[in-house]
Structure 1
Amino acid sequence: MNETANIVDIDEGNAQQLLIDESFNRPVVVDFWAEWCEPCKQLMPMLEKLATEYKGAFLLAKVNADEQQMLAQQLGVKSLPTVMVIKEGQPVDGFSGAQPESAVREVLDKYVPSPQADALLEAEQLLADGDIPSALALYRAAWEESGHAVDMTLSYAAALVTASRFDDAEQVLKEIRLADQDARYEQLVAQIQLGREAAKSPEVAALEAALSAQPDDHGTRVKLAIQLSQTAQYRDALEHLLVVLRADKDFADGEVRKVYLDTLATIGKGDPLAAEYQRKLFSLMY
């Protein structure tokens, strides 16, 4: 296998330099594997991806346990795959068996700052200060930069839930594979369900009932859209407004179009949801 500055293969000739000496400069993550080990084939590509993403914050050292049996014995490897974190010459952490990416990142983040750590701190502060559009823009940028990594997906979805953007949070969570759907994932799914129930005020329920009885009542539909946007259910609100605009572009003397544009402005320029519905409006109008 080819070596890079952050991913190396270990043998007797370089073990001292790369496992011990290098661990005084940065953490060394040692992956013990073998050709016959199927879980190893699942874990190694993930570790390689993380080593690239973390841009040299740690060294990934790969050890073929069949070829380097003495080294594996010296480090107490009893099963494959085994991963160890070596810092300042000593093993400080590790795990055995294939793990979901979220669990691997949890181990790494004890010793290596996440590439998105600073952006997340800023985004969390913006969210706490109530600047939701700016916060979500930072969360999304960090999520994209991470390649939709599991922990970033969960953090971004959690921010969307905090902002009552339940539909968008649900869409983001669809990125997570079944194997990575841990307790935090389940908690967010439950929060989305509870949030949706809590957002259904008596006013919304009454307007939905009235609209169900008279689907062509555009005035009621606009009122419902306004109520939904006030609880950050922007996608549903915009869909209702589009129904009205498709039927009558100038309904209420253009007021519906203004409500639509105001909703986009509230979501925030650059937000994917705003961009999506800006395109839909443009297609409808032109």
Structure 2
Amino acid sequence: MSIVDPRNGAPLTAPQESPSTSQEAAPSDEQLIIDVDRDNIQQLLEFSMQVPVLLDCWAPWCQPCKALMPILEKLTREYRGTFILAKLNIEENQEIAAQLGVRSVPDVKLISQGGLVDHFQGALPEKEIREWLSRYFPAPEDAPVSPEDQAAEALAQGDAATARTLYEQLVQQSPEHYPYQVELARALVAEDRSEEALTLLDNLPPEERDSAPARGVRASIEFRKEAPSDEELAAFAGRDDSEANFKRALRQVADGDYEAGLEGLLGVMRKDRGYGDDVARLTLLRVFDALGADHPLTVTYRRKLFTLLY
């Protein structure tokens, strides 16, 4: 397949001055998304002197590759010629893959001016890919809010039904992008549909089933089972002992008020470190697991826990 300039549709023959794009129609898929092999790899590198190239290194047997490719294609269309997407099948082009240093797939490389600028590996969620692209390209002015961002925002605002609907659509569109299924399970938990969430998690591939996000959803289900009911909580009204404070913190965690719950668990530790065979500290660790190692609250309260212990 020959490479054409997405800005004017002309075949690329040699580096040339970039034409104006102000009055041109939006480029077609054939201009924006190409397959690359040994017959056009050199042309591709020449083309990168004018327009950056996103090189998606994939393989037919790679399930994450199949989940990632539709996302990359969607973003390429959205950016409308800011860069082109070149797809390299490493099974059919092993020599090129070796020259590019591809050791595992998916491996997405940003090439500009004939050289490697940056790369990422793995089937990242759309939100993270957008953040990665934003380091190098201004976001399209009319870029819509992605369904993934809409779903995450809905869940954060307590609108679990909307979040579930959006994640169901994402799962249908990209059934092999397993993070969407984990987030769908999280939305189901928020709707008090924990059994459905567990079934969804149990049907994931082993490596996804045991991932930190999936463990976090399972932990949130466990917290809901352990947390006191409204009636039980009412019985602790006016009490300021370790049991009452621990139960309140547990309920806050189960309700998704993680910061208040973490603060409450630390408070139990400060007043009564030995309460319940160190259950407050152990529960803090479980909350960290539920939130994930990179969550801001995990980072903050790990530091507070360390200060308290040492």
TM-score relative to the length of structure 1: 0.49
Q: Compare relative contact order (CA 8 Å, sep 6+) and give the higher one, 1 or 2.
A: 1
TM-score by length of 2: 0.46
